[in-house]
Amino acid sequence: MQLIKYNNLVMNEGGKHLQRGMNFGIMGSYSVVLMSVEKNSPYADEMLENGIIKYEGHDQEKVSKELKKSLDQPIANKSGTLTQNGKFLQAVEQFKEGKREPAKIKVYRKIRAGIWVDMGFYNLIDGFKEHDGNRYVFKFLLKPNFDNFKPEESDYIDMEHNRYIPGDVMQKVFERDGGKCVMCGETDNLHYDHKIPFSKGGSSKDEKNIQILCARHNLSKGDKLVY
């Protein structure tokens, strides 16, 4: 999983400055969502045990901060056009009716200000309303897309689930390693690396098994494992 700076995120997505978390169809063939694992993040996004992301829909826009968190999340704007929630929900319905493939969603996870992790592609497989104890919110289920699955890195699909590093572990490792490669101090093109690979039983949940490596050291390590 690659660590990137916001500028690189923008470059990845064709120079588009993403101002909001949900961007349905922004790239034509796919959508982009931003999620945060910071304690003060505005939305309750979760990473489930099997690698599925439970992504919370977004609040009513253009109302006060207090009102935002007390109003039900909207499916349509006053003009009748669909909100981002509505667009995601419509894609889910069409998928369930067999009218389309699941919408492809590119996920970026914010680790701290200006630092993101490229989580790759997910399929939008479900969406529903849920009461959060206060009001109704939308929840969307994003399933990891195994089109990018690299069989040489894992023996079984089940193993693949174990490579998902929880957000709090990502944050702790970033702090501990000072946001740079532990081998050479490089601060660009960084990756989260499993010291013991997940395919060999190494844990993703134990921060002691995760470190930050630059692209060069990440690759050279890969070579050693193969030969």
Give min distance, CB of 212 to Zn ion, in A.
9
Alpha-carbon distance of 79 to 221, in angstroms, equals 55
Minimum CB distance to Zn ion smaller for 109 or for 217: 217
Minimum CB distance to Zn ion smaller for 104 or for 180: 180
Give min distance, CB of 213 to Zn ion, in A.
6
Q: Which residues make up the interface to Zn ion (CB under 5 A)?
A: 181, 183-184, 186, 214, 217
Strands, E assignment, the chain: 2-5, 22-23, 31-36, 46-47, 53-56, 103-112, 115-131, 136-144, 190-194, 210-214
DSSP per residue, 124-167: EEEEEEEE-SSSEEEEEEEEEPGGG--GGG-SSHHHHHTT---H
Minimum CB distance to Zn ion smaller for 115 or for 213: 213
Minimum CB distance to Zn ion smaller for 76 or for 219: 219
Alpha-carbon distance of 191 to 176, in angstroms, equals 14
Give min distance, CB of 142 to Zn ion, in A.
31
**Torsion angle of C-alpha atoms 212, 105, 135, 70, degrees rounded to 10:** 70
Give min distance, CB of 152 to Zn ion, in A.
22
Give min distance, CB of 182 to Zn ion, in A.
8
Minimum CB distance to Zn ion smaller for 27 or for 215: 215
Q: Quick one: which of 53, 54, 51, 37 has its CA closest to 162?
A: 51
Alpha-carbon distance of 74 to 84, in angstroms, equals 9
Minimum CB distance to Zn ion smaller for 205 or for 216: 216
Give min distance, CB of 179 to Zn ion, in A.
13
Q: Are 114 and 97 in contact (CB under 8 A)?
A: no
